[in-house]
Structure 1
């Protein structure tokens, strides 16, 4: 049984959310998208600054083009989140999750999201029809990749990847704290996967990484399909270690 101390660890944060965000907003079925948008803006700005002004890997015009492609879609979602009527809202718990429950549910969300997105990615490469009509858009991105490369996808792929990532926490109605944490972590990892840098302190033994994904984009017969964890690539036999780092920070 969780101790009282365990129950109280996340209580101040959850009480703050209830008081300042409100039950109506927290119960919105797309509330987690706020975490996605925030992560995209913060991580995108940080990596873009490095790309343009420090490593000079990506020209400013190219970065502006990626932003012009990426941000309008998120703006539309944000408008929908705030102004469009919805048919239902999730029940919002009054109590914070225990630390054990929070961690356990977060791990399950990560594992399920990794497996589902992995098999969707395998289908994109395994089906000539799906690759020619959908996934080819993403593979038109040239190497080295940038943090915005992951958003350069066909609308069908964008929708399907979104579903594979979030169908489990959505259907299971995990605690909103778990959901927004997973959404932020998921978004950050997939951006790092496409950032084009070999970050030495990044735990690439656990998470998908830029060198792994550069390897995927650079091979005629691709491997390293995971963009979240290394779990699915390892258990399904498609994990390939990279030989040389992409670029060190």
Structure 2
């Protein structure tokens, strides 16, 4: 608990700097992704679109609040794993080559994310949180930020389970730096796959998740909301039977299966209110 409190204190002290960093990233991404969307749009969309300000609010909320809860969730996982896994196993994992541990972290993290994402669609209460992300009827790069903070914490905590339980981050040979680079790249990629960009990437679409792949996950069409859960590797969906990518097509309709409240505060409260029957 004392370690969690120290991390919370550090997070609190760094909030002003973190907010400035988020603002700088927001401007940089708006420039890059905004130009791409203007040059290669799937369909024309106004820059000052509906709920733009709300999505900016979600951007800062998601960047500043979830880390406090994720720290506690990760600490609980470490405590649980320490009583479950023998120290000799952790020593063996730490002795593995650096590249093997990084590869295992990326692969197992995405498999775990797949299941967190899938459960967020299949469990009613988790879906109440995740539906916030699926509520937009237009898709662009900033929609990536429209997510309930508890939804983010759940996905990150589940994604961390194999990494923590198996002790993949054991050792002090630069793996934490690799984790930081991995998180930065996957975060940027998550923004990219939401872009309103009509790009078909050929063979690459069989290797990594692309805008076309993820747009079909957001489609409000029969059966599409239960498809394409992976964040990096589309073949994970193939393995579990949820892959869906029509050749050279993008969806015509986006959105969730229910209406959500209009205001940000009401959307944050919506998972705790039973939807009307």
Shorter-normalised TM range: 0.5 to 0.7
Once the 2 structures are TM-superposed, how far is the Cα of residue 138 of structure 1 from its aligned partner? Answer: 1.5
Q: Which residue of 1 aligns with 2:211?
A: 210
Tell me whether 1:228 sits opposite 2:238 in the alignment. Answer: no
Structure 2 residues not aligned, in runs of 5+: 1-9, 69-74, 76-95, 252-277
Contact 2:200 2:212 in 1 (8 A): no
Once the 2 structures are TM-superposed, how far is the Cα of residue 121 of structure 1 from its aligned partner? Answer: 1.6
Map 1:127-206 → 2, pairs under 5 A: 127-131=123-127, 133-143=128-138, 145-169=139-163, 172-173=168-169, 175-201=175-201, 203-206=204-207
Once the 2 structures are TM-superposed, how far is the Cα of residue 64 of structure 1 from its aligned partner? Answer: 4.4
Q: Partners in 2 of 1:50 and 1:64 — Cα distance?
A: 20
Contact 1:114 1:231 in 2 (8 A): no
TM-score normalised by the chain length of structure 2 = 0.58
Contact 1:233 1:239 in 2 (8 A): yes
Once the 2 structures are TM-superposed, how far is the Cα of residue 70 of structure 1 from its aligned partner? Answer: 0.5
Once the 2 structures are TM-superposed, how far is the Cα of residue 179 of structure 1 from its aligned partner? Answer: 0.7
Aligned residues between the structures? 196
CA RMSD of aligned residues (A): 3.6
Map 1:230-249 → 2, pairs under 5 A: 230-246=234-250
